[in-house]
Amino acid sequence: MMNTIDLKGKKALVTGGSQGIGAAICRKLAACGADVIVNYYRNKEKAALLASDIKSEFGVNAWICYANVATSSDVADLFTFMDGKTGGIDILVNNAGAETVTHVLDMTEEEWDRVININLKGPWLCAQQAGRRMEKTGGGVIINISSIHDVVPRKGLVHYCASKAGLKMMTKCLSLELVDKNIRVVSVAPGAIYTEMNREEISKFGVDKFEKWIPSGNIGEVGDVANAVAFLASGLSSYIHGADLYIDGGYMNNTIQYDPRPPRKND
């Protein structure tokens, strides 16, 4: 099938792009023709392998760059690196994130700060750097990777849920402030998604439980999120501003598990 999403000539930066959802987004944007900067924090080898694969498979440029997105100096260096390689930015995907599970009464200030800083401060720092550049070059797209937990609470994740709720509102505020600069800002909120790191954990917890809870009957794949990001990065979504797109198989719509409906005659 012909790819109708055309990002040829676009320059993209994906934070936390070395693995999981971030890596899938890098590959999808490259498949659509964009040059890609793969930001990494710990996984330099995975980032380098991904960039090599992208160049050989899709014939576009790909580079890797270290940065802790929660640190303003690292973020400034990341964008300076991108300036030197691409001369600008058209697409920013704020994907880097952190999650730990801790009872609220046992959570340390350090743990709270770490998750909030990576998940909320990081996207703000990157959006500010990208926005300044996009303003000078005529516009661009900023896509924040959120979570269904930007509205759905979950035990053990008060810091994570709070950070994603903040990211949801930050997306709307950034969209409102930057729309006159021809900069679109949107977010994508995945539900249960298989990644390299959580497949074993999901299996231990019980795939059957998720398949029962999720109306579509299946756990999502990283490609489901990447496809949505590519669409939102493209001109096909030019009239979408400040929206939060949920990629969850209907998971959020099924919080009430019992079914009070009477049996149908033909069932």
Catalytic amino acids?
160
51: left (phi over 0), alpha (psi -120 to 50) or beta: alpha
Which of 142, 114, 38, 129 lies closest to 80 in space, CA to CA?
129
Which of 130, 223, 111, 221 lies closest to 183 in space, CA to CA?
130
Whole-angstrom distance, CA of residue 223 vs CA of residue 233: 15
CA distances to 85, 86, 218 from 179, rounded to whole Å, are 27, 24, 36
For residue 114, the Cα-to-chain-centroid distance in whole angstroms is 18
